[in-house]
Amino acid sequence: MPLNEVDVRWCWTFVVLSIATLACGRSSLVSVDVFFGDSGAPGPADPPYTETVTFANGLRLALTESPELTLTYPGASGNPFGAARTGHYQPVRFFIPLQSITLSHPLSENFVLSEFVGPTVERGGVWAYVDAQIADHVQRIRSGLGRPVILSSAFRAPEHNSVVGGASYSRHLYGDAVDIDVDQSRSDANTIGQEVFNEAMDVGVDFVLPLIDTSVDVSGQTRVSWVHIDDRGFR
């Protein structure tokens, strides 16, 4: 693939690619809105977000507006933390266009985009948002544990969130929350859950739901089933 342009701005190196394709015997150009730049730990971001999201590995994705989806979000003024937190609960305006992006794009060393948006795609959703900071924190948790972890839930659009019984202002709506699966059938599920919880606290995640709230009854025993973490922008 020919390299058309290398543009250095704001300490970033953007590579713009043109792909030659054949259409009716003629070549045409297809633009690719994926860029790579310097890696670094992402900082916090608040909705409605901006036209791009840049992950810790340098992957930068161009986002697209979806006014119809934005209108389904709850108003920020009704958030459970009051007026001081409305800036963290604005309706999301910019989304990843899932139909025109490669879901196998790596967001970090061990995670790809599909792991954050899989349930949305399975439901036929075409828009999602993945917060760069939560993706980085998930990677740091996985690295600290030294073993794979499974993401059971990440981004959820308002309609999806309602169907699964999520809180009206769940951080899953804003793409900065992740549920890490814990196999509740294992006798050491509580130990595994506590290890994930401790690692999340160590890497500086904004909020980790108490394990008692993510535990279920298994044959008369209370066992952790998942660990919820999010980077809501405040503690």
Domain of residue 164, CATH code: 3.30.1380
Least confidently predicted of 5-19, 55-69, 74-88: 5-19
Residue 51 placed within a domain: no
How many whole angstroms separate alpha carbon 194 and alpha carbon 186? 14
Residue 40 placed within a domain: no
How many whole angstroms separate alpha carbon 24 and alpha carbon 38? 39
pLDDT value, residue 40: 75
More confident residue, 70 or 22: 70
Residue 153: partners with Cβ closer than 8 Å, 6 or more residues away:
119, 172, 177, 178, 179, 226
Determine the structural domain holding residue 109 and report its residue range: 65-230
Residues 23-77 pLDDT 10s? 344 433 333 355 555 567 899 999 999 999 999 999 999 999 999 999 999 999 9
Place of tokens 């814990």: 182
Q: Which of 118, 135, 145 is nearest to 230 (CA)?
A: 135
Q: 3 pLDDT exceeds 60?
A: no
Residue 177 placed within a domain: yes
| DSSP letter, residue 33 | -
Q: Taking the model in full, what pTM does it have?
A: 0.85
Residue 8 placed within a domain: no
Residue 35 placed within a domain: no
Residue 118 placed within a domain: yes
For the chain, what is the domain count?
1
